[in-house]
Amino acid sequence: MNDGKKSHGGAKRGPSSKKSPRVTLIEGDGVGPEVIGAAISVIAATGVSIDWDRRSAGAAAMRQYGTPVPDALMESLARTRVALKGPLETQVGVGYRSINVHLRKAFDLYANLRPTVSFAGVHTPFRDVNLTVVRENTEDLYSGIEHEVAPGVVESVKVITARASTRIAKFAFDYARRMKRKSLTAIHKANIMKLSDGLFLKCARGVAKRYPDIKYSEQIVDAACMRLVTNPQSFDVLLLENLYGDIVSDLCAGLVGGLGLVPGANYGDKGAIFEAVHGTAPDIAKKNLANPIAAILSGAMLLDYLEHQREGDRIRASVGAVLRSGKTLTRDLGGKASTTAMTESIICAFART
């Protein structure tokens, strides 16, 4: 089992400074304020001082400002270029477009990184999972180009470009080399979408030639999903287009105990947003029941980015120690602990590391 200690830095770090870095804080909707509050408490326990610029988005902002993405939020992100974010409500089939997609495109956060590891003490049918999903973040069907051709007929356009495909492949290979990973698998459906996914593969192959130390392979997405649930240990770094990456990253989270355990980060050349990848869970909001680990581990990735990797590693070690003990687990992990109790246990474990 992984002990959770390994750093998951995904991009070049922010500049060093004696001054407390200013970071945009988006608590989010539903359980967001609770889990982000937990992450802030754990970060505070590390001794790293952060100047949080609190901003509203999503359903909360819609109620207050009449828009899910207020100008004040966008201005804050333009200044800080880094954020810690909770889950945001997106209605299905109606309403405003995904705010997550909007923010990623607005700030060109083209790389989504989802490290997924097994923790001792979390009971699943799978052991020793240690893989990372690298997902292209700005195009594919998520470009949002769709229209009604005729009554009852809707057309959505899949956009794949050489520029975006090449830079996400380079990001993935750079990550694999920096983290001393041994292999990278490009996942696709080029047997059907020969032009779009074919271009994605062509670009990945071109980049792979520059990294002879990383074993490169390819797999069709449906076959990859079957292999993930039969032999997940055979994967190392997974490189995917936007839609496949969205689906496969959640599948991978299921291998290790669920979305409550998996952090997420979105990187661009000039900024990053770190976020809990689970939903808003309105059924348990304000009940002190949510698992805060995904948000806490996302906070650890934020510390890596701000060049406080030692503190980030200690947070991961503390989370691993709490899970390994099995004494303080939230309901999604088979226990009865509250959000507050798990947070306090992680802070206590941090003090002992």
Can you tell me the distance from the alpha carbon of 280 to that of 296, in angstroms, rounded to the nearest whole number? 16
Tell me whether residue 135 is in a domain: yes
Q: Please measure the distance between the N-terminal and C-terminal CA atoms of the chain and give it in whole angstroms.
A: 19
Question: Quick one: which H or E segment has residue 61?
Answer: helix 58-65
Token readout for 25 is 């804080």
Same domain, 251 and 263: no
Q: Could you tell me the CATH number of the domain that includes residue 251?
A: 3.40.718.10
| Closest among 39, 81, 35, 75 to 57, alpha carbons compared | 75
With a CB cutoff of 8 Å and minimum separation 6, the contacts of 317 are 3, 4, 5, 349, 353
- Residue 130: domain span: 125-256
Residue 189 appears among annotated catalytic residues: yes
**Banded model confidence at residue 15, pLDDT cuts 50, 70, 90:** very low
Active-site residue, from 29, 53, 197, 246: 246
**Is 194 among the catalytic positions?**
no
Order of strands, sheet of 111-117, starting from the edge strand that comes earlier in the sequence: 51-55, 22-26, 82-85, 272-276, 263-267, 111-117, 130-136, 237-240, 183-188, 215-220
Active-site hit among 128, 213, 222, 269:
222
Tokens at 160, concatenated: 């794949």
* pLDDT averaged over every residue in the chain: 93
pLDDT band at 93 (very low <50, low <70, confident <90, very high): very low
On whether residue 118 sits in a domain, the answer given is: no
Is pLDDT at 74 greater than 50 in this prediction? yes
Task: Give mean pLDDT, residues 144-162.
Answer: 94
Check whether residue 150 and residue 182 sit in a common domain. Answer: yes
Among 222, 256, 290, identify where a domain stops: 256
pLDDT at 97: 64
Q: Which of 5, 189, 211, 215 is catalytic?
A: 189
CB 219 within 8 A of CB 238: no
Q: Structure pTM?
A: 0.92
Catalytic choice (65, 108, 170, 250): 250
In a domain, 18, yes or no: yes
State whether 88 and 172 are in the same domain.
no
Q: Is 215 a catalytic residue?
A: no
| Residue 85 burial (CB count, 10 A) | 27
- HSE, side-chain direction, 13 A CA sphere, residue 267: 28
Q: Which of 99-113, 225-239, 245-259 has the lowest mean pLDDT?
A: 99-113
Residue 222: is its pLDDT beyond 90?
yes
Q: 323-332 pLDDT, tens per residue?
A: 999 999 999 9
Residue 7 has pLDDT above 70, yes or no: no
Whether 142 is a known active-site residue: answer: yes
191-196 mean pLDDT: 97
Report how many domains make up the chain.
2
The answer to whether residue 128 is catalytic is no
Catalytic residue among 142, 175, 216, 305: 142
Same domain, 248 and 185: yes
